Structure formats: C-alpha cells, structure tokens
Structure 1
Amino acid sequence: MSSHYRRSGLRKIGTTLIKCFSSGMISGPGLALLSRFPIVETFIYRYPVNGRPSAFYRGDWYVGKSAAVTVLEPPSGPHIALINSHMHAPYALTGDAAYACHRAAQAWDLAGVARRLERQGYAVVLVGDLNSRPGSLPYRILSNEGQLHDSWELLHGPSDPLEVAKMSPQDQVDLAATTCDSTINTWRAQRAPTEACRLDYALIGGAKLTPVDAGVVFTERIPDVGSYSDHFAYTATFEMEDKPEAIKEVARKRRPTTTESTIDATTYETSTLLTVYDDARALILEYLDTTSRHQKTYRFYHFVVSIILFVIFIPVIIVVSYQAPWASVIFFIVGCVVTVTGVIDGLISFLFGRNEQRALREILMQIGDRERYEKSVAN
C-alpha cells in the first residue's frame, strides 16, 4: 500500500477502494465507503447540533456524528455524490431522551448539502442509518426540503405502520424493509414485534438515478455469535439516466400528486414545504425554551454553588485538620469532587450551551429565509 493511500484514509484491495472518514474525539463517526469507481474527492460535514457532552454514556457528541460526501466517477454519466451519514440516535420515543430536535437539525443540514450537490449536477445518493422513521419530521425535511426520494417507496410504495406491526417478523423484513428492532435480529430478540421499523435508507436526489431493486440483507447469523449488527443492512441497485429527455420524464413522474383536483402540483409542494417549516420551527423553539434553557441554567447554578462550597470548604478543612486529620481528608476529597464537577458543568453551560443555542437559532433563521422565498415564489 502506498503512503498516499495511508495519508488520505484510503485503502485498496484489488479494484476496490476503501475510504474511512475521521471525525470526533474518541472513536469517530463510523462512516466508510467501498467503491469500484474512482474517487474524485471527499469531504465531511460535522453536525453542529449533535447531542450533549454531559451524555458521555451515550457517546453521540464524542464520536462527532457527520455527513461524509464522496464524489465518484462512474464509467458513464454524471458524477455521483454519495452522502453517508449516521444521525443522532433516539434513546426514547418521546421526551428529552428522544433527541428529536437534534435529528431534525441534522436533517436540515443534510437536506441543504444534498440540495446543493444536486444543483451542481451530481447524481445524489444519501445512505445510512438516519435513525428516523418514514413520515417523521427528519424524514419529511429530507423528502421535501432536500428533494430526496426514498428508493424503497419508489419501488414498493409507502408502508402503513399499523399494517407492518401486524406482519410476521420475516414479512416485516421482506415486505416493509424493516432494518431495526426486528425480533429476527439476535441483538434485538427481546423487542416486541410491533417495534420493528425502517431506519436505514438509500435516498436519491434529482432524476438521474432510478432504483431497479432494493431489499434488506445481512439477515443471516454468524455461527456462535449472532446477527452482524443491531441493524440489518439495506441494499439498492440503480440505473443511471444521462439523456435530458429521460431525466425530465423521470422528474415529472416523481412529482407529488394530490387527490384535490383544484390544487396543482406546485401549490401542493409549497403547502407541504411550509408545513414542514412550521413543524421544524415549533420543535426547535420548544427545545430552546425547555430542555436547552433548563440544561444551561441548571449547570450554571451548579457551577456557582460549587464555587461557594469550595470557598467554604477551605476554612473547614483547616479547622478539622487540627482536630480530626482523617476527616479533613474526606472533606478535601468531597470538596475536590464538588469543585471539579461544578467547573465542568460551568464550562458546558458557558461554552456548549451557548454554542448549541446559537446553532439552533441559525437554523431558525435559515428556515425563515427559505419560507420567505417559497411564499414569494408562490405569490
């Protein structure tokens, strides 16, 4: 292997290039690519809103969740911009542990990246564990704001979650492409069958690519180990369209339809988009007014109290050291713990808290900009 490949994070096995992406401060985002096509260029976009450093036991903030972009050169047709991402995990369906605001913010950034790449003429494909169910706000942001199309639904149509919940575990995989929380998966065997869901995707932007096949793979088990991962893998095969007439026809067929004959496609698209903007804005504002403010305020007060206790502990330790030396050691240890944790919380409040709030306010401004433009075009 040449030093050039090692320095660029590339490895080559036969005709296959393996690209690993680096981000975060511990293990990295876990994003990689295997390609037989030449790699033209790569870059990685690290999400500015990505969990909290205090949730060290979850790790999302420390691994630097990102969107990795690789531009590939196929034998014919336009270059392919492959976006690989792993969005923030949900640790509950509702509440603060769901991290719904974080995934919505990441989806907004991801939609912007995909939209800009598509406008530059690339055939865009977004793949990865997006930790978002079909119909969720992040999914709708990617579909409407990012103009990305779900390869599975293009082939098989949308699935009714209530019907999927009634299917057998095998049918959930085969007919609904559920990749997560399947009872067939040994890492999720204790889950209820109704929890199985689809979180892994191959979304395509524009009309240069057409899916011809899709499904779930790596469902078999490793002997004496179990399933390969807690998620099954999603696979999709595409055909490349390079003729302008064919591309226009594909784009026409993918435009959304409505049962209301009085509403044309453009009006329907704008209305749907404005609804997505309203939902995203409401979610971010709610997070800023509740969780973010609470976290920042609580940690600030913890910092102030710890400093006060530190000042109080100094004379206490001095006095106690003359009467009960071992007790002074205990006071010293407790004082150190209180002070260190307070200072850490203070840093999180001052630095991380402000950074997260500013990043979310920036997204709110971007939503406002897009909303004003869409309304002006509609009028």
Structure 2
Amino acid sequence: MEEPPTEINAVTLNCWGLKFISKLRNERILEIGRQLAQTDPQPHIVALQECFCQEDYENIRRETRFILPYGKFYYSGAFGGGLAILSKWPIDESSIVPYPLNGRPTAFWRGDWYVGKGVACAKIRYGPSKKQVVEVFCTHTHSPYEGGQPNDSYLCHRMAQAWHISKLLRGAADRGHLVLAMGDFNMTPMSPEHRLITAHAPVRDTWRVIHPDSSVGPADHPAEKARRRPIPTAEFNIQENGAASDGPYCTWRWTKSQQKLLGPGKPPVTVPPDTIDHKGKRLDYIFASSGDVSALNGGWVVKSTNLGMMMRHPELGCSLSDHFAVEATLAFHSFSSSSSKPINPTPTPPKPSTTNGEAKQQPDNATTMSDKHVHNGTYLQSPTPSSVRDSKSFDCQLLAFLDLEREQQLPTTAYDDILGIIHKYVAREESQKKWRGYHFFGSLLVTVACLVGVWWSPKNYVSFILMLVSSLSLVAGTIDGLMSLLFFKAELGQLKEFEWEIMNAKLNATGAAMSERAETVVEGGSW
C-alpha cells in the first residue's frame, strides 16, 4: 500500500436527485460528476445525499472513477435513502443503520418514512497501521417541515437521530479511528441537535473550527438575531458563514420569473456579491475527530473549509443542486517541540449559555470590524480570517480536540430539555394511537349499519351508496387500526428507549453514585 496521506480532502453534497420531482435531474447529476472529477484539491472521500436513483450514482461513479475508484450505494426503505459514499481508498466494511425514529407513514406526501432514512457507514483504510482507518458516516436527517419552531412535531425525530448518530461516532472514536460524519443534517449551528452531536461524540464542526464566529442561522432566526450582527451579504454568507442552502446564489431559490432568464443560449445571469441575504443558512456539515493521537503520535486537525459546487451548469445556466457542497481538508499533525509549554489557543467556538431555552452567543470581534466591512447594517465583504494555521495553531487545535474527548457531556438542563421534547411527543403519539383505534372500531359500526341498511333498502342505487360507504369506511378504519396497533405502538416503544438513554446519560453527567441508581424506582423500563 502507498504511503499514508498527510491530508484528507472530504466533500459532502446534497444532490437534489428526487426522481420525477427534481428538475433537470439527469443533466445536473452528470455535471456534478464531471465537476467532482475536476475539483482542486482532488477529493479523497465524498458523501452524497438525495442520490436516490442508482443510475445517477453510476453516472457520478463513471465520471469520478479515476480519482475515486471505490464507492457504495446504500439501499434502505421502500424508495432508498439516497445515500452514497465515494472513496480514493478501498472500503473494508459497509453498513446502513436505520434511524429508530424516522418520520411518520401518515405524512406520505413528505416521504421521510418511506425512504428509510438512516446512517450510511463505511470503514476506509488509508494506511497500513491498525489505527490508520477512517470511519465515514453519511446521513440525511429528517427535514424541518414545520420550520424548527418550538411546536415542531418533528423536532423529537431530529433529536433522536442526532443522538443515534452521535452514539455511532462515539463508538468509532473509541476504536481509535478517525471519524468523519458528513451530510445534510437539517439543523442550524449551535441548535440543540448540533450541540447534542458535538457534546456526546468527540467530534467538532469543521466549519466552526476555522470560523468560530460564523452565524447560527439565517438572519431572521431568533438565535442569530440575539447576536445582533449586521445582515450578511451573499458573499459574506458564503465565505464566513458557510451558508450552503437557501442563499441568492442558488438559482433554485429564485422566483419563477428569474428562472425563466436561464436556459440554453441565454446570457448568464449574475448575482452581485453585496446582495443582502436574509435566508442563507447552514444545514450541511462535516464533523471530524482527531483519531488516536497516542497510537499515531499525532492527530488530524482542520486545515481549511470552504463551499464548493457553486458553478452553474455550462449549458442550462442553473445551479447544480439546491445545496452547495461543503469541503474540508484535514491535515495530520504531530505535536511540535514547543507544545510542551502552554500555548494560547486559536479562537474556539464560544460555549453557549441557555436563556429560556435559546442559545446565547458571547460577543466576539465581529462587532469591532472596521467601517469598510460594514455599511448600512450590511456586511460588504468577508474579513480576513484571524486564525493563522501554523504549527502552533495546529498544536492548540489538537489540544482542543483532546480536551473535547475528556469533557464530553451536556449540561443537565439540556437533558431536561430533551426529556421535555420526548414527553411532549409521547403525549401526541398516544393521543394519535387512541383516536385511530377509536376510528377502527367506529368504522366497524358504520360497516355493520350500512349492511343492515342494504337489507332494508328499497332501491338499488341506495344499496350501492351504502355499500360504497361501507367499503370506504372499512378500508380507512382498517388502515388506522393497523397504524394504531403496529406503527404507533412500535414508535412509542422507541420513544421509551430514547427516554431511558437520555435519563441514563443525565445520571452519568451528574455523577450519580451506583448505589443511588440502584435505589431509583424503575417504572415502565425507565429510570
């Protein structure tokens, strides 16, 4: 095997490849494959989401076969999870781990339950040593259809999915392997789901390592408003905030009249860099660990991060996806000789304090930017990054990773918040289970009443109507009865498992003694 790499280039991209729904899918997917093959620096590991059609996966593989000769397309659910992993190095092991809480079949128009969302896992060996393995986790969590508001009934799903993937990441890190978690996580930075992953697993958000003061949501997000930052421009959101979705540079977020300006033979349409961007946000992430520092005599640090796949289709003029790609370069770093002395660390993400359940950011140097960067409450250009990524700064970053591994836990109040979300969702699902059961028994009564009515019906057309009502009522009631008996009962069981794990983690975080746990009353399988 060739010498182990000193750098690993990772890319994640939501391809927006929904069959029959995504526009110009075939043309865009082919161009995505071509652009991946031309990316500089060349990617070593690529994670794809919303690549639902195997034909699309094969088209991308065909274009990237010389730089990414290994790959895996993952099957799950009725229509597939849309996940794929490409690699420069061989994939030793592979699996797909479904999420226990994964949407609702009743919301068939949304499709999350039917695609069987989960985590695509791959073990990739990049060197001969036992610990020279990177475990890659690619995912696409439940979409925030209800805007991520406090009454969002899908919030519990995303919290459970964040908890589930964090356990997978933690296990991989415990094996001493480098961990890469990539994908469309459908969460904003420093949100409860985001903090759950970075607190429960020894990984860090690579973008915030380089840009610790980047935004925590779109300009109108409550947590971002609380930071009192000027409204960003499109260029600032790309360079500093990593807003890979919903920004004005993406043509699929334009109005229909604007999209009509694009097409074969039409002049290119540009977006001024100083365009105010209210909606651009970050949903796509690359989380990374440091690997086994003691076994490898060093660890992996974040050298750079940026957005990619921002080019337009050369003929159609449209963006290649409704998301831009997120790219990160990890560099292997050994401690310098001066690292034995305390070093002033490079800026690290501020630790959030919670006030009324909302993350509150500490003030940073963004408020003291020179006037050339701010005008009329808008960022005009991206400031020069403050962190100088030299040997000492890599030392500090590696030390920060090691501190993260030693101090992994959420504050007790965070566990209470998660338990509150679980209890609220349990109450909703128990109510749904009950009423759907009532509907089943009610449909039986309606069916019997209609059959009796047919017996006494004086005319044929009345009998036909009664039989039609009877059949439709019985079908609808049977579906709801099966949902109550099978789906909702199974989901409530998974919620009990999730609740137990959170309560157990809370006890671990508070340092409860084993004797105290033994005296704790166990009810319904929970502490």
TM-score range, shorter chain: 0.7 to 0.9
Q: Within the alignment, does 1:19 sit opposite 2:19 as a pair?
A: no
SS at 2:108 equivalent: coil
User: For each residue in 1:168-201, what CA deviation from the matched residue of structure 2 results, as whole angstroms up to 9, or x when unmatched?
Assistant: 1232122211112212222222599422210000
Opposite residue 146 of structure 2, the aligned amino acid is A
Q: Within the alignment, does 1:314 sit opposite 2:447 as a pair?
A: no
SS at 2:328 equivalent: strand
Q: CA deviation at 1:244?
A: 12
Residue number in structure 2 paired with 1:56: 108
Q: CA deviation at 1:213?
A: 1.4
- Selected match of 2:399 from 239, 243, 252: 252
C-alpha separation in 2, matches of 1:98 and 1:112: 23
Residue number in structure 2 paired with 1:153: 208
Q: Is the 8 A contact 1:177 1:216 kept in 2?
A: yes
Aligned positions of 1:48-197 closer than 5 A: 48-75=100-127, 78-93=132-147, 94=149, 99-160=154-215, 161-162=224-225, 166-190=231-255, 193-197=277-281
Residue number in structure 1 paired with 2:474: 339
C-alpha separation in 2, matches of 1:210 and 1:106: 26
Residue number in structure 2 paired with 1:235: 327
Q: Is the 8 A contact 2:183 2:284 kept in 1?
A: yes
Q: Is the 8 A contact 2:301 2:398 kept in 1?
A: no
Q: Within the alignment, does 1:221 sit opposite 2:312 as a pair?
A: yes
Runs of 4+ in 1 over 4 A off after TM superposition: 9-12, 95-98, 241-251
C-alpha separation in 2, matches of 1:185 and 1:199: 14
Opposite residue 369 of structure 1, the aligned amino acid is N
Residue number in structure 2 paired with 1:371: 506
Flag the 1:342–1:165 CA change in 2: closer, same or farther, 3 A. Answer: farther
Residue number in structure 1 paired with 2:303: 212
Q: Is the 8 A contact 1:164 1:176 kept in 2?
A: no
Q: Is the 8 A contact 2:76 2:115 kept in 1?
A: yes
C-alpha separation in 1, matches of 2:421 and 2:203: 22
Q: CA deviation at 1:63?
A: 0.3
Q: Within the alignment, does 1:358 sit opposite 2:493 as a pair?
A: yes
Q: Aligned Cα RMSD in Å?
A: 3.0
C-alpha separation in 1, matches of 2:335 and 2:436: 58
SS at 2:453 equivalent: helix
Q: Which runs of 5+ in 2 are unaligned?
A: 1-53, 216-223, 257-275, 292-298, 340-393, 515-527
Flag the 1:95–1:56 CA change in 2: closer, same or farther, 3 A. Answer: farther
Equivalent residue pairs, number:
359
Q: CA deviation at 1:256?
A: 7.0
Q: Which runs of 5+ in 1 are unaligned?
A: 1-5, 258-264
Higher deviation after alignment, 48-57 or 176-185:
176-185
- Selected match of 1:280 from 394, 418, 423: 418
Opposite residue 154 of structure 1, the aligned amino acid is V
Opposite residue 482 of structure 2, the aligned amino acid is L
Q: CA deviation at 1:281?
A: 1.3
Q: Is the 8 A contact 1:88 1:102 kept in 2?
A: yes
- Selected match of 2:92 from 36, 40, 47: 40
C-alpha separation in 2, matches of 1:96 and 1:314: 43
Flag the 1:193–1:301 CA change in 2: closer, same or farther, 3 A. Answer: farther
Higher helix share: 1
C-alpha separation in 2, matches of 1:61 and 1:181: 24
Q: Is the 8 A contact 1:165 1:195 kept in 2?
A: no
Seq. identity, %: 29
Q: CA deviation at 1:241?
A: 4.4
Opposite residue 306 of structure 1, the aligned amino acid is S
Opposite residue 298 of structure 1, the aligned amino acid is W
Residue number in structure 2 paired with 1:324: 459
SS at 1:58 equivalent: coil
C-alpha separation in 1, matches of 2:152 and 2:117: 17
TM-score, normalising length: structure 2: 0.63
Residue number in structure 2 paired with 1:262: none
Flag the 1:314–1:74 CA change in 2: closer, same or farther, 3 A. Answer: same
Residue number in structure 2 paired with 1:3: none
Q: CA deviation at 1:251?
A: 4.3
C-alpha separation in 2, matches of 1:98 and 1:184: 31
Residue number in structure 1 paired with 2:81: 29
SS at 1:346 equivalent: helix
SS at 2:247 equivalent: coil
